Structure 1
Amino acid sequence: MRSALKRAVSRAGRGIRWYVRELTDESAYDRHVTHLRKDDPDTPVPSRREFERWRTDRQERDPRQGFRCC
């Protein structure tokens, strides 16, 4: 019975983590890397910092590309 409870708690924790990452768009980099590797495996993958800089620049050029509160 305890192992079933542990599995349920672990599964709930993974679900909460997934939800928070999606809500905050923390998973955007992971999706971008997956997309790059799928479409062209030889394309260099940018660092997380480079990706965030690119994404911020893109949002500032066109606010419709992403949520901007200010």
Structure 2
Amino acid sequence: MNTRWVRAARWYLRELTGESAYDRYCERHRRHHPLAPVPTRREYQALRTLHQENRSHSRCC
């Protein structure tokens, strides 16, 4: 039972911090672009931020 709690807490923290989003992105990138290099975590964060800033409906003002 202790192992189950640890796994659940780890999953929750990875989802909360966005670490799992990068992992999902890498899997999707490898599947759709097998010959292209996978962006680093820093490059992914920069792309994600740029994408969010360019979406006009994501801001309140």
Q: TM-score range by the shorter chain?
A: 0.7 to 0.9
Q: Matched residues, percent identical? A: 47
- Report the Cα offset of residue 11 of structure 1: 1.9
- Report the Cα offset of residue 19 of structure 1: 1.5
Structure 2 residue 26 is the aligned partner of structure 1 residue 25:
no
Taking structure 2 as the reference length, what is the TM-score of the superposition?
A: 0.78
Q: Output the amino acid matched with 1:28.
A: A
Q: 1:61 to 1:41 in 2, by over 3 A?
A: same
1:56 maps to which of 44, 49, 57: 49
Q: How does 1:27-46 map to 2 (within 5 A)?
A: 27-46=20-39
Unaligned runs of 5+ in 1: 1-7
Cα distance in structure 2, aligned partners of 1:43 and 1:12:
38
Structure 2 residue 18 is the aligned partner of structure 1 residue 47:
no
Q: Output the amino acid matched with 1:39.
A: H
